[in-house]
């Protein structure tokens, strides 16, 4: 398998759906080490790791398997950061009900404030300079912030799909009434976090 296929499978066996920026950061490590070493990492993570490793943890696995003779600078510098998971990018969830550029819930990536984020190109907007606070302030035990966003993206997308199917089976003249009725659901209240909450940007 190619490095890209190995990484895709590695995410899949842990039930994770990678965001593009996150996937690319892991892929850089695989490409740097080469396909044979990438296969050994994949096999180890598949067979021995209960949770998907952060970038910092992945470099620890690389060293523990003896796949590099030199400690990578990533291991010394990058934090095991809650906000970005050690990849340097913090996701911001975009709602199709607020942003007409997207038809489904999607993410925009911003540079983190941690050491990994310092290596992100200057052209990338900084999350904590752009927004006053995290988009979601809840914490799920055992999950970092990108994993929380991935879970919400999946839940919101599933709910949107159900809403669209419900409206499609309803007389178009009553769509507005049915959509209003759905606003009373518990998940709908959570959806309002991103469709109605005012995130004032410090710099745009």
State residue 179's pLDDT score.
Answer: 43
Does residue 128 register a pLDDT over 90? yes
**DSSP one-letter code for 196:** T
Identify the pLDDT of residue 72.
Answer: 44
CA distance 166 to 187: 16
**How many C-alpha atoms does 89 have within 13 Å on its Cβ side?**
22
pLDDT at 187 exceeding the cut of 60 = no
- Over residues 6-18, the mean pLDDT reads 86
Give tens-digit pLDDT for 53-63.
887 778 778 87
CA pair distance 73, 50, nearest whole angstrom? 26
Residue 170 pLDDT: 63
The dihedral through the CA atoms of 189, 194, 198, 199 has a sign that is: positive
Going by pLDDT thresholds of 50, 70 and 90, the confidence category of residue 184 is very low
Give counts: helices (H), strands (E), the chain.
10, 2
Q: State phi, psi for 96 to the nearest 5 degrees.
A: -70, -15
In 3D space, the residue among 202, 41, 182, 21 whose CA is nearest the CA of residue 126 turns out to be: 202
Does the structure show a pLDDT above 50 at 73? no
| Run of H or E residues at 24 | helix 20-33
Mean pLDDT of 146-167: 84
- The count of other CB atoms within 10 Å of the CB of residue 34 is 11
- In the chain, pLDDT over 90 holds for what percent of residues? 15
State mean pLDDT over 111-140: 88
CA distance 91 to 19: 9
Beta bridge partners of 131: 201
Q: What is the mean pLDDT of residues 180-196?
A: 51
Q: What is the 3-state secondary structure (H, E, C) of 49-113?
A: CCCCCCHHHHHHHHHHCCCCCCCCHHHHHCCCCCCCCCCCEEEEEECCCCCCCCCCCEEEEEECC
Q: If pLDDT is split at 50, 70 and 90, which confidence band does 199 have?
A: very low
């Amino acid at each position: 398998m190619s490095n890209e296929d190995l990484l895709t499978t590695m995410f899949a066996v842990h039930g994770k759906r990678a965001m593009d920026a996150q996937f690319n950061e892991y892929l850089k490590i695989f490409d740097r080490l080469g396909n044979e070493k990438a296969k050994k990492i994949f096999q180890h993570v598949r067979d021995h790791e209960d949770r998907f490793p952060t970038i910092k943890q992945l470099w620890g696995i690389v060293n523990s398997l003896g796949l590099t003779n030199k400690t990578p600078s990533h291991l010394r510098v990058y934090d095991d950061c809650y906000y970005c998971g050690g990849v340097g990018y913090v996701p911001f969830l975009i709602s199709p009900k607020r942003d007409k550029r997207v038809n489904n819930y999607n993410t925009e990536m911003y540079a983190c404030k941690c050491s990994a984020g310092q290596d992100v190109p200057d052209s990338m907007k900084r999350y904590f300079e752009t927004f006053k606070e995290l988009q979601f302030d809840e914490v799920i035990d055992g999950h970092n912030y990108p994993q929380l966003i991935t879970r919400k993206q999946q839940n919101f997308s599933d709910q949107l799909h159900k809403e669209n199917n419900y409206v499609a089976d309803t007389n178009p003249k009553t769509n507005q009434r049915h959509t209003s009725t759905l606003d009373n659901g518990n998940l709908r209240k959570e959806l309002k976090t991103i469709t109605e909450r005012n995130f004032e940007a410090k710099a745009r």
